[in-house]
Amino acid sequence: MMEFKNCNDKTKAMRIAELKKEIDDQRKRNVELFNSIPLVSHEDPLNKKAKPVLAEWRKGSKALKIMIHELAELERITHKTNEVKINEKTFINGFGEATSKYITCAGYERAENSSRKAMLSFIGGR
């Protein structure tokens, strides 16, 4: 698996397209292999004829899983946006400036809760 964090978007997009094509090809190959696995018969009760085909199918399945994982990781890196923190809250400090710095003063939190309750009761008509 390659590292794509330092690559440009065009290289990542090309690799994503290549991976999708490789995944489709490997899936088709796995289906062909699975359908070609011989069934157990009276002549071959231990199904020894199927062992090489099964080994190749398992190898292809592992390769498919690795490719899918690599594609998911690459898409995650490519589509990563500037995510805003869910709990990030904007406060107005004493100078009227907006800040995201958390204010830990208990009196401030108590006053904020009481003003929030007053606004909600005014809006809600309580």
Contact 13, 78 (CB under 8 A): yes
For 1-50, write each residue's pLDDT tens digit.
455 556 677 788 888 899 999 999 999 999 998 898 888 777 878 888 88
**pTM of the predicted model as reported, rounded to 2 decimal places:** 0.55
Distance CA 72, CA 78 (A): 10
Q: At what angle do helices 9-35 and 51-78 cross, to 10 degrees?
A: 160
At 17, which amino acid appears? A
